[in-house]
Amino acid sequence: MSKCIYPFPAIVGQEKLKRAILLNLVNPRIGGVLISGEKGTGKSTIVRSIPSISSSVKVIELPLNITEDRLIGGIDIEKAIIFGRKELEEGILKKADSNILYMDEVNLLSDSIMNTVLEVASSGFNIIEREGISYKHRSKFVPIGTMNPEEGSIKPLFLDKFGLFVSVKGDTNFQNRIEIIKRRIQYEEDKMSFYQQWLGECEELNNKIEKAKTILSQITISEELLNIIADTLNAFACEGNRTEVIVVETVKAIVAIDNRIEGNIDDIKEAFSYVLPHRMRKKPKDKENTNNNGDNQENQNNNEHSNDKNNEMEDSESHVENMTSDFDSKDVKDSLSDIEVIENIGNTFKAKNMYFKNKDNRFRKGSGRRSLSKTESKQGRYIRYRSKNKEIRDISLDGTLRAAAPYQKFREKNGVAIAIKNRDLREKIREKPTGVTIFFLVDASGSISVRKRMEAVKGAIMSLLTDAYEKRDKVSLIAFRKESSEILLQTTRSVELAKKHLSELPSGGKTPLSAGMDKAYNYIKSQWIKDTDMIPLLVLISDGRANVSLTGEDPLVECNEIADKIRKKEIKSLVIDTENGFFKFGTLKELSRRMGATYLSIEDLSDKSIYNSVKNLTISN
């Protein structure tokens, strides 16, 4: 081995990626690294070259179409057939213990495999309970994934599980490109000789890593630096507290590999460059520069105080304008109760990477591209097998052999190598992408018409319709205004028809929000009866200013009651709030909470906002 692989120090460029790998070798508690970049940038070569600089580590590769048996382990078929007893055959997770688990094209792995790998990486143990075997073993490894973003993104659910993130690009420097070609030619002509040329640098890096490991426990991070870490992560709105731990572990590795025992502000900045890119939810607002010297702190504070005052003045002016426009809007709204207008469709955006993850065990028919679901068909990725009393249409050969293996010693063969009985037969479980049905519930009342908000609403819906077309989803359009609600478009795959209805949708009148919610709720229930495999998503777009009662009760009370029904029915929902201005009632925020929905303000509407809003939606009906 290691002498046949491409030497780590011989790789030209990609210094940040090489540094991230070194940090993980020094401190595995960092939690691995996700490498994203176009093809041909040396991602796989760098990962596979790791054993050349770390004699104690192997790179265990995870095949793209691996089954759960090969991953976690299962019954040893050969021993079961020969000796007639059940013995464990260890999976890749056992081999990965104390090593690197390399996942090439990690974004194309199935959700079930990814979830298993990252859960084991987090816990450090793999538990096997299948086919009468119960076994637990240590599995502490460094997960490294590579991906080409052109082939699809990695699910946000898994993104946070990787400690560090590095984006790589091809080297555009002319001299570097020439050097890359020369070294590759030398390597292909005589691999052993080429390796010997770099052996000294490989051993030097190996010694550097081993020395860094020995001083890792001596590293200290001051209280001041910990405060900076916490404050910065809070400013970037990083979710949970995992990020703080990873930053600290990364800082320790940086300090150790540089042969120091105390961290400084530059170490934190370097750690942030690896830890934050795939975790931050927003940009910080006017945060103090973490690298300012203490001598300049007082002057900086004075300047910031002056700037804050100016900002407060500007904010006050805008608040006054918003207050005035809000009062005007209310007056205008009341006077528009009988006037209808048809707004143009506003600006659209690319609503990319909207997906749903299924946690249920239902087998669905249908096609699409948005959500992975188990399927009874023979199409899709084979993920595991099951026993089944009914007729089996898609036999799992490996599953059947595993079930029959322990009994071969006691069965009559009658001229066959393996005797299989009906009770041994196992069926393949497959999963494939399927579409969802998106129910757009649109507020077309007069209050939405104020200040051209209906344009923005139509633009947002148009963007989502375009995405629905690409993902082969079904769509439906329901609008409410004046005194009632109306189904403008029954569920269909014709996105063009939905766009036509959207462009012709008038706005004006009061806001019968409860009527719209009731109509959508009952319509989704009726569609569910017709199509039990349906995966529904309700998208409510409104300002929440309900002023028409459905039953004579308070309109908001009615809305809350229907919201509770939607939640109990486990209808996944996305609420887009169009209310703006200084004075806000915040009705939809509370309503979305009762619905169990994801909440989004239209003021923040963008491709990233939509992406972040729907990333955690889980189909569990």
Q: How many whole angstroms separate alpha carbon 10 and alpha carbon 247? A: 29
Q: How many whole angstroms separate alpha carbon 139 and alpha carbon 98? A: 7
Instruction: Give catalytic residues, as residue numbers.
Output: 242
- Does 139 lie in the same domain as 75? yes
3 state SS of 474: strand
3 state SS of 601: strand
Residue 200 included in any domain: no
Which residue range forms the structural domain that includes residue 414? 371-434
Torsion from C-alpha of 388, 394, 398, 402, nearest 10 degrees: 20
Residue 522 included in any domain: yes
Out of 276, 292, 318, a domain closes at: 276
Q: Tally Cβ neighbours within 10 Å of residue 292.
A: 12
Interval 310-352: pLDDT, tens: 333 333 333 323 433 343 344 334 433 444 445 545 444 444 4
Q: 387-395: long-range contacts (C-beta < 8 A, 24 or more apart)?
A: 387/423, 387/425, 387/426, 387/427, 388/425, 388/426, 388/427, 392/425, 392/426, 392/427, 393/427, 394/427, 394/428, 394/430, 395/425, 395/426, 395/427, 395/428
- Does 240 lie in the same domain as 172? no
Candidates 339, 595, 574, 566; CA nearest to 441 is 574
- Does 128 lie in the same domain as 26? yes
Contact indicator for 476, 437 with CB cutoff of 8 Å: yes
Can you give the C-alpha Rg of the chain in angstroms?
A: 29
Candidates 2, 23, 9; CA nearest to 213 is 23
- Does 386 lie in the same domain as 461? no
- Does 220 lie in the same domain as 125? no
Candidates 585, 616, 583, 618; CA nearest to 599 is 616
Q: Report the domain count for the chain.
A: 4
Per residue, the 3-state secondary structure of 534-598, as one string, reads: CCEEEEEEECCCCCCCCCCCCHHHHHHHHHHHHHHCCCEEEEEECCCCCCCCCHHHHHHHHHCCE
- Does 602 lie in the same domain as 495? yes
- Does 415 lie in the same domain as 511? no
Contact indicator for 25, 50 with CB cutoff of 8 Å: yes
Residue 199 included in any domain: no
Q: What is the CATH number of the domain that holds 61?
A: 3.40.50.300
Q: What is the CATH number of the domain that holds 573?
A: 3.40.50.410
Interval 32-88: pLDDT, tens: 999 988 888 888 889 998 898 888 889 999 888 787 778 888 777 666 666 666 777
Percent of the chain with pLDDT over 70: 71
- Does 259 lie in the same domain as 166? no
Residue 426 included in any domain: yes
Out of 177, 198, 233, a domain closes at: 177
- Does 220 lie in the same domain as 100? no
- Does 443 lie in the same domain as 587? yes
Per-residue confidence (pLDDT) for residue 194, from 0 to 100: 86
Residues 6+ apart with CB under 8 A from 223: none
Residue 386 included in any domain: yes
Out of 382, 409, 434, a domain closes at: 434
Residue 204 included in any domain: no
Q: Which residues of the chain have a pLDDT value below 70?
A: 1-3, 77-85, 130-132, 152-153, 155-157, 237, 239-240, 280-381, 383, 389-391, 393, 431-435, 447-454, 456, 460, 467-468, 471, 533, 580-584, 603-621
The DSSP 8-state label assigned to residue 34 in this structure reads E
Q: How many whole angstroms separate alpha carbon 68 and alpha carbon 466? A: 36
Interval 561-603: pLDDT, tens: 999 999 998 888 888 888 765 556 778 888 989 998 888 877 6
Going from the C-alpha of 587 to that of each of 84, 455, 548, 557, 584, the distances in angstroms are 67, 22, 15, 11, 8
Per-residue confidence (pLDDT) for residue 191, from 0 to 100: 83
Q: What is the pTM of this model?
A: 0.53
Give, for 411, the enclosing helix (H) or strand (E): none
- Does 575 lie in the same domain as 595? yes
Per-residue confidence (pLDDT) for residue 519, from 0 to 100: 92
Describe the strand order of the beta sheet including 356-358 as a list of residue ranges.
381-387, 426-434, 371-375, 356-358, 618-619
In the numeric block, which tokens belong to residue 432? 């494939």
- Does 500 lie in the same domain as 391? no
Q: How many whole angstroms separate alpha carbon 333 and alpha carbon 325? A: 12
Residues 6+ apart with CB under 8 A from 330: none
Residue 135 included in any domain: yes
Residue 62 included in any domain: yes
